[in-house]
Amino acid sequence: MRDHLMQTYLRLPVAFERGDGAWLWDSEGRQYLDALSGIAVCGLGHAHPGVTAALQEQAGRLLHTSNVYRIPNQERLGAALCGLAQMDTVFFCNSGAEANEAAIKLARLYGHQRGVQLPTIVTTQGSFHGRTMATLTATGNSKIQQGFEPLVEGFRQVPYNDLAAIEALSNDPNIVAVLVEPVQGEGGVNAPADGYLAGLRAICDRNGWLLMVDEIQTGMGRTGRWFAHQHENILPDVMTLAKGLGNGMPIGACLARGEAAKTLGPGKHGTTFGGNPLACRVGLAVIDAIRQDNLVARAAELGARLLNGFRRQLEGVAGVTDIRGKGLMLGIALDRPCGELVTRALAEGLLINVTSERVIRLLPPLILSDEQADRIVDTVSSLVKDFLAETAAPAGGATAS
């Protein structure tokens, strides 16, 4: 039957049928510990009772009306998110790419309203912002762009974690915004130096540019703050969310503050499904559950436990070039391509990811127990040691990551 699916993914030969918290069971009844959460989506784990109850209740009441009417659940979720992020307004959509599309349109309109003829958005090398034409152009990875030219105009890229490179663009009158991930996810779990976002905030303020943070992977508590930019005590002008906001229910959001919040008016943007009563009800249940169980602080605590565990077991091991992370976004960089670790982990009943070829990426759910966290450390560490012992180091020795 899979012959009828476009082969956009090289899928692993496993299908899951049921989940409970951090556990998943496949069609043969085998059990797996989930250290990936569907790529940072199921922060509350699988089959969370609060999410399930909200979904069931709302499904029996009302799924969809239209954005031509008021949608109380959307107003409630908008107010809740604005309260958590100190933002003013929200546009709801169905995915991360759509949230970034809204941010890109907002920035362009903001520019045109100020007389900028060719509004340009600065993004960073190694970034990931989505797969639509504008968001793949914003993405700082040529592999994602190749074959889809012509790309969209109005984007410029600079190295990540390099304030001087952005400062150097200050004389370009077309720049209207900087779009940046607080921690690059797909790019290899790259956290910038402390002060990077605050530095960007200052540069944007000096130039009248919008600071737009893509919190699609980092948001909803994952890094140990509700939103990762809050580690630096700054406020962005625009913030995008998706992944963890619905715990598996498709939903995205573009939040804005101040002048940016007033930019998109009637007729300037829209969506049929975005912000429907069901998706917003689930978003509210996700926020309730994170609050009730103090999962933002718990993500910080679990992240430290995992990071310390990996440092104890893997620091100094030849072939391990870096162990890094922020909360429950963790990366272990090796000196060689290590994609096969995903299948090796699967055989051990553990779900992990490898990104940027050489970085093992872990995005476990925020509801992990200490025992589950320790099990992830033990399993991944021994898999890494075995893998490094069995495979050849790259010619020319270890390269930096």
Q: Catalogue the active-site residues.
A: 128, 214, 243
Beta bridge pairs of residue 156: 122
Distance CA 321, CA 244 (A): 29
Please report whether residue 92 would count as binding ligand PLP according to CB under 6 A. no
213 near ligand PLP, rule: CB under 6 A: no
Q: How many residues bind ligand PLP (CB under 6 A)?
A: 15
Yes or no: say if 233 and 198 are a contact pair by the CB < 8 Å rule. Answer: yes
Q: Which of 58, 120, 217, 313 binds ligand PLP (CB under 6 A)?
A: 217
106-114, 126-134, 313-321, 389-397 -> range binding ligand PLP (CB under 6 A): 126-134
Binding to ligand PLP by residue 179, rule CB under 6 A? no
- Binding residue (CB under 6 A) for ligand PLP from 38, 78, 96, 224: 96
What residue number has its CB nearest to ligand PLP? 96
Q: How far is CA 306 from CA 97, 132, 147, 325, in A?
A: 30, 34, 39, 9
Q: Which is nearer to ligand PLP, 39 or 163 (CB)?
A: 39
Determine contact, residues 344/211, Cβ cutoff 8 Å. no
Residues 6+ apart with CB under 8 A from 257: 86, 87, 88, 235, 236, 237, 238
Q: Does 373 interact with ligand PLP (rule: CB under 6 A)? A: no
Residue 117: CB minimum distance to ligand PLP, A: 28
Q: Residue 271 corresponds to which tokens in the numbers above?
A: 């969506």
228 sits near ligand PLP (criterion: CB under 6 A): no
DSSP string, 345-386: HHHTTEE-EEETTTEEEE---TT--HHHHHHHHHHHHHHHHH
One residue of 45, 120, 192, 214 binding ligand PLP per CB under 6 A: 214
- For ligand PLP, the closer of residues 87 and 216 by Cβ is 216
136: phi then psi, degrees, rounded to nearest 5:
-75, -30
Which residue from 87, 106, 178, 216 is in contact with ligand PLP, where contact means CB under 6 A? 216
Q: CB under 6 A: which stretch of 96-104, 221-229, 258-266, 280-288 binds ligand PLP? A: 96-104
**Which residue type, as a one-letter code, is found at position 227?**
F
Q: Contact, 58 vs 399, CB < 8 A?
A: no
Please answer whether residues 216 and 99 qualify as being in contact, where contact means their C-beta atoms are separated by less than 8 angstroms.
Answer: yes
The answer to whether the CB of 331 falls within 8 A of the CB of 325 is: yes
Pick the closer one to ligand PLP by CB: 229 or 372: 229
Output 137 or 381, the one with its CB closest to ligand PLP: 137
Bridge-based pairing state of the strands 120-124 and 155-158: parallel
Instruction: Kindly state whether residue 287 participates in binding ligand PLP, applying the rule CB under 6 A.
Output: no
Q: Is 101 in the site for ligand PLP (CB under 6 A)?
A: no
User: Position 371: which residue type?
Assistant: E
Binding ligand PLP (rule: CB under 6 A), the pick from 101, 181, 237, 335 is 181
Instruction: Answer for the pair 62, 277: CB distance below 8 angstroms, yes or no.
Output: yes
Residue placing its CB nearer to ligand PLP in the complex, 242 or 249: 242
Residues numbered 230 to 269 that lie near ligand PLP (CB under 6 A) are 242-243
Q: How far apart are CA 233 and CA 31, in angstroms?
A: 41
Which one of 92, 110, 128, 196 is in contact with ligand PLP (CB under 6 A)?
128
Instruction: Provide the binding-site residues for ligand PLP, judged by CB under 6 A.
Output: 95-97, 100, 128-130, 181, 185-186, 214, 216-217, 242-243
